[in-house]
Amino acid sequence: MKNKIKKIALFFSLFSPVVVFGADMSTIGGILEWATILLKDTILPLLISVGVVFFIYGVVRFYLAPSNEKEKEKYKGYMMKGLIALFVMVSFWGIIKIFTETFELEGKQPVIPQIPDIE
C-alpha cells in the first residue's frame, strides 16, 4: 500500500509542472520544455539545498571535533564533497540556461484559461 502511494505521489510531483504551466506534451518542443521546467524549477533547487546542508554539516562537525585529527579529515572530506557537488549543480544549472536560451524555451507564457464574467 505504501509503495502504491509513493508511486502516485511521485507521478503527480513529476507531472505537476505539465499541469501548472500548461506544457504541450504532444511535440518534441513541449517535452523539452517540460523537462527543462522540471529540472530548473524542481530538481536542481532541491539538490542544491541538499548540497548546502551537507557542506554546512561538514563545517559544523569539523569545528566540533578539534582534538580528533581522524574526525577532522573525515569532515574536511564532507566539506570538499559538498563544494564539488554545489559547483557541479550550479554548472548544470548554467547548462540548462544555455539550453533554454538556444531552443527559445525561456519566457514562453502558457495560455491560462480565464473564468468568464457573469454580468
Can you give the pLDDT of all 119 residues of the chain as single tens digits? 778 777 776 666 666 655 555 656 667 777 777 777 777 777 878 888 888 888 898 889 888 877 888 888 888 888 888 898 889 888 887 887 787 778 776 666 555 566 767 76
Question: What is the sign of the dihedral through the CA atoms of 88, 91, 96 and 99?
Answer: negative
Domain assignment present for 98: yes
What residue has cell string 533554454? Answer: 100
Closest by CA to 97, choosing from 107, 84, 112, 110, is 107
Instruction: State the total domains in the chain.
Output: 1
Instruction: Extract the C-alpha cell encoding 7.
Output: 508511486
Q: Which domain holds residue 17?
A: 2-102
Domain assignment present for 80: yes
Domain assignment present for 115: no
Instruction: Extract the C-alpha cell encoding 33.
Output: 520544455
Q: At what angle do helices 69-102 and 44-64 cross, to 10 degrees?
A: 160
Domain assignment present for 78: yes
Looking at the whole model, is its pTM more than 0.85?
Answer: no
Instruction: Extract the C-alpha cell encoding 94.
Output: 548554467
